[in-house]
Structure 1
Amino acid sequence: MDHTKHRRLLALTLSWAATRALMVWLLVHSASPLLGGGRVAREVWGLYHHWYGVLVHGGLPAHDPLWQYPPGAGPVLLAPVLLPGLTYFQAFVALTLVADAVTVLALARAGARPGHSLLGAALWTGGLPLLLHIPLVRYDVQVTALAVLSLVTLSRSPRAGGAFAALGALVKVWPALVLLGTPRGRESGSAWRSAAVTGAAALALLALAFRDPLAFLLQQGARGVQIESLGGTALSLASHAGWTGTARYRYGAMEFVGPYVSSVAHVSLALTAAAFGLLVLWRIRARRRTRATPYDAALSAVLLFTVTSRVISPQYMIWLLGLAAVCLASQHTTQRPVAVLLLAATAVSTVIYPMHYWEVISCSWTGTTLMVVRNGLLAWAAGLSYLRLWRSGTAPAEAGARSCPQARHEGRTPASL
């Protein structure tokens, strides 16, 4: 490795240490009204710790309407027991930092390979602190780490990539989407078979360890329209035109209740189905790929499902930053403009929560404008991501060959999807 990369890796390490120290400092001082008055950290010492008390007795909190997670979340929430010298809260934060470090290490190792870049590791290192201390007190960093590991190992070991994706899906469902862009043929089959076997084996073990492992499916169907979703933004705008609904705390989030809310929820579900159809269409029509296609497809898929969801919590930005970082780790990615939009959306998300969340809840013009800007950026990013993915996969043969110069140099044409 040349001296330039050594210096960049050193700078990356120092930046990670400094930004994470700042995030911990913000967490320690999170009682400040500007940082949410302690609401952000309450998820761990209130909700997660409560569930921990149920999990240690061999059951999942199946009758708790706030429990909406697959059974793989159980081991993650039990993991703080591995650090007996710390409180549950301290151990959870420490393990989140470990998962964060694993993520940046995986991105740095991937970026150090020929045809790759350290830009992905830099995006993760500098982008995550835009969410202030929120990532330290949500288990989305752990889930994102599994998705990142799946993607960066996929080209070298499809079986390992499939296994990591399955484990991530058992923790929070969405990592199942990261296998969407695997090339057709042996590599794709190996990844999907590994995911199926790993998922089935892990689910069987979880069913032995916990009662009611699939209870979360019943809770998902009852969810409404969260105030931070695109549907919620539409209702917030409608409130300024006379809509009479209000926001209430339901199922672990602030959701709108009132006239037409169920219709908006159904529209969101229909848009999610349409997004799935677009992804299937791309998969069928795409004939060209670069080494970054699996990464680009994963980001596009999760973005589309995020913007059409009935719920867009602040921690969802952690997923998108992680996937964008994997894309930028490859010099062949088509998603660089999308990553810029996601960084902007992440910064606005922090202004919304925790800084001005009551403005969003009350549907003031300030809160509504912030939501229009943030969700407008996300919708723009989703549309642009899919468009660039589509164009890269359906380009003429000559353009496809130019998009993968390394493959041409090695005397072979880009593999079809």
Structure 2
Amino acid sequence: MNAFTSLARLPSRPSVPSRAGLPRPASTATRRRLLALAAGWLATRAVMLWLLAHNTLPLLGGGGVAREVWRLYHRWYVVLAHGAFPAHDPLWQYPPGAGLVLLAPRLLPELTYFQAFVALTLAADAVTALALARAGARPGRSLHGAAYWTGGLPLLLHVPLARYDVQATALGVLCLLALTRSPRACGTFAALGALVKVWPALLLLGTPRGRTTRSAWGWAAVVTVGVLAVLAALFRNPLAFLRQQGGRGVQIESFGGTALSLARHAGWPGVVRYRYGALEFTGPYVQAVAGLSLALTAAAFGLLVLWRVRARRWSAATPCDAALAAVLLFTVTSRVISPQYMVWLLGLAAVCLTSRHTTQRPVAALVAAASAVSVVAYPTLYHEVVTSTWIGCALMLLRNGLLAAAAVLSFRRLWRSTRPVPAYDPAPPEPDRPQAAGTERVMTRR
């Protein structure tokens, strides 16, 4: 028998069906969910654009929402286009990276500034949704985060399209999603986000100890210094925003503002004025309330540092959960809680929901509820808030109460999820019993 006959008689290797012939119900279901998310994103963003086009209606703000872009942002754009930051404008209170966002509409010269700004904001929104969907489609992850962002952002109506907070949130989302694969990219996105709006610097608080933290924090520092050096070489007065922050008062929508609104019904003589790009209270005790807010912010930072020192367990969801808790604490203790701040919280909650191990699901529900109430306060019934009517006070109490509950619950769940697990003894020792006579002798014999 020759070798070829012997080989022919060997048991053949079982054939494997082609990939095309294998049933893939999970992949098909995921594909359908992704298509549904895409359709939902297109539909909701079309509604948001329609609302922005009709923002002159009284219940949509009477034109005040869009005015921020074509009047204020465009004015800064003209100054930035001449190679300088608006150093002498008290309304300019943003880090120098914000200047690049406001200059970005130059990339679309065929559109007006307003049109180009909205188009780029929608592009950042789409990138955020795509990143969340891509992360959620991986094995062991969830598409709930992408669905939450797709359906959550329209809760703020057309406000997100006329603010650049969507761009900052996109950088924050990319930062957290990149952590598991590349701590360097995570640190880079955190630095870029912090240069656009300061809050993304908090996103690195929950990075796992060791090499991951050193890499992410180190790259964030290097990128921050490098970008600042480039901006200092290309523009004049890149740090001018620091002079304006100290003079800020108490915005009417903050926790302190809500307390002062209620105080007006008790005879407090304060008034509302437009200062530093927001409606703020002026009058007796305002500085004391502002100082208390700063003290609470410092206390929140100390609480977060304490958590970082005491934390012993890290899961895949811990960095995202810590980021949401940190930004919530800083938001509720701030002197300013603008409506667009809800965009940050919606984005961070969406990142948390991409993980099946997150502890922040009830927090995400509270953030969504606060967003829905926030849009009733602004722009729909903003006059009630400005004039401190009982309706306006009730809206602010409800919105801020939801945010406070979300902050407390978020930090509490984060703290408990990272505590060390107590040792488990399946057979606790029984109480001492008197030994029967002869027992010792029998065991010795054995």
Task: Please state which band the TM-score falls in when normalised by the shorter chain.
Answer: over 0.9
Aligned to 1:265: 290
2:392 to 345, 348, 367: 367
Deviations 1:341-386 (A, max 9, x none): 0000000000000011111111100000000000000000000000
Residue in 2 aligned with 1:77? 102
Match for 1:324 among 340, 349, 374?
349
Provide the rounded CA distance (Å) in 1 between the counterparts of 2:307 and 2:423: 19
Instruction: Map 1:118-267; keep pairs closer than 5 Å.
Output: 118-267=143-292
Structure 2 equivalent of residue 298 of structure 1: 323
Give the distance between the partners of 2:235 and 2:331, measured in 1 at CA.
29
- The TM-score, its normalising length taken from structure 1, stands at 0.95
1:100 aligned to which of 119, 125, 131: 125
Report the counterpart of residue 438 of structure 2 in structure 1.
none
Per the TM alignment, residue 398 of structure 1 is displaced from its structure 2 partner at its CA by: 6.5
Task: Determine which of 321, 324, 333 is the counterpart of 2:358.
Answer: 333
Taking the aligned partners of 2:128 and 2:319, their CA distance within structure 1 comes to 18
Supply the distance in 1 between the matched residues of 2:163 and 2:89 (Cα, whole angstroms). 18
- Matching residue of 2:427: none
Instruction: Give the distance between the partners of 1:121 and 1:357, measured in 2 at CA.
Output: 30
Q: 1:342 and 2:367 equivalent? A: yes
- C-alpha displacement at 1:395, in angstroms? 4.2
Secondary structure of 2:335 counterpart: coil
1:109: which partner in 2? Answer: 134
Cα distance in 2 between the residues matched to 1:211 and 1:170: 16
- Per-residue deviation, residues 232-287 of structure 1 (Å, max 9, x unmatched): 00111111111111111100000001111111000000000000000000000000
Q: What amino acid does structure 2 have at the position aligned with 1:299?
A: L
- Following superposition, the deviation at residue 41 of structure 1 comes to 0.3
SS in 2 for 1:30: coil
Task: Tell me the secondary structure at the aligned position of residue 10 of structure 1.
Answer: helix
Whole-Å Cα distance in 2 between the matches of residues 123 and 208 of structure 1? 41
CA distance in 2, matches of 1:215, 1:304: 27
Matched residue type, 1:266 = G
In 2, the alpha carbon distance for the partners of 1:365 and 1:332 equals 41
Whole-Å Cα distance in 2 between the matches of residues 398 and 380 of structure 1?
Answer: 32
Aligned equivalents of 1:237, 1:226: Cα separation in 2 = 14
| SS of equivalent residue, structure 1 residue 109 | helix
Q: Which residue of 1 aligns with 2:83?
A: 58
Q: Which residue of 1 aligns with 2:60?
A: 35
SS at match of 1:222: coil
Q: TM-score, normalised by structure 2?
A: 0.89
Structure 2 residue identity aligned to 1:205: V
Superimposed CA distance per residue, residues 207-250 of structure 1 (whole angstroms, 9 cap, x where no aligned partner) = 11111111111101100000000000011111111111111110
Is the 1:275–1:305 contact (alpha carbons within 8 Å) kept by the matching residues of 2? yes
Q: What letter corresponds to residue 110 of structure 2 in structure 1?
A: G
Deviation at 1:114, TM superposition (A): 1.8
- SS of the aligned residue for 1:40 comes to helix
Identity across the alignment (%): 73
Match of 2:111 among 67, 75, 86: 86
**CA offset digits 1:91-110 (Å, max 9, x no partner):** 00000000000000110111
SS state of the match for residue 256, structure 1? strand
Structure 1 residues 38 and 381: alpha-carbon distance in aligned structure 2, compared to 1, 3 A threshold: same
Deviations 1:45-93 (A, max 9, x none): 0000000000000000011000000000111000001001100000000
**Match status 1:313 vs 2:338:** yes
Shift of 1:302: 0.4
Separation in 1, partners of 2:47, 2:227: 36
Q: Is the 8 A contact 1:224 1:310 kept in 2?
A: yes
Aligned length: 399
Within 1, Cα distance between the matches of 2:184 and 2:103? 27
Query: In the TM superposition, what is the alpha-carbon distance from 1:115 to its structure 2 partner?
Result: 2.0
Alpha-carbon distance between aligned partners in 2 of 1:62 and 1:304, rounded to the nearest angstrom: 30
What is the distance in 2 between the residues matched to 1:177 and 1:342?
A: 18
Q: Distance in 1 between matches of 2:336 and 2:220?
A: 27
Q: Distance in 1 between matches of 2:238 and 2:418?
A: 39
* Contact residue 60 and residue 210 of structure 1 kept, 8 A: yes
Cα distance in 1 between the residues matched to 2:401 and 2:166: 25
Across the aligned residues of Structure 1 and Structure 2, the Cα RMSD in angstroms comes to 0.9
Find the counterpart in structure 2 of residue 283 from structure 1.
308
CA distance in 1, matches of 2:420, 2:321: 15
| Aligned partner letter, 1:160 | A
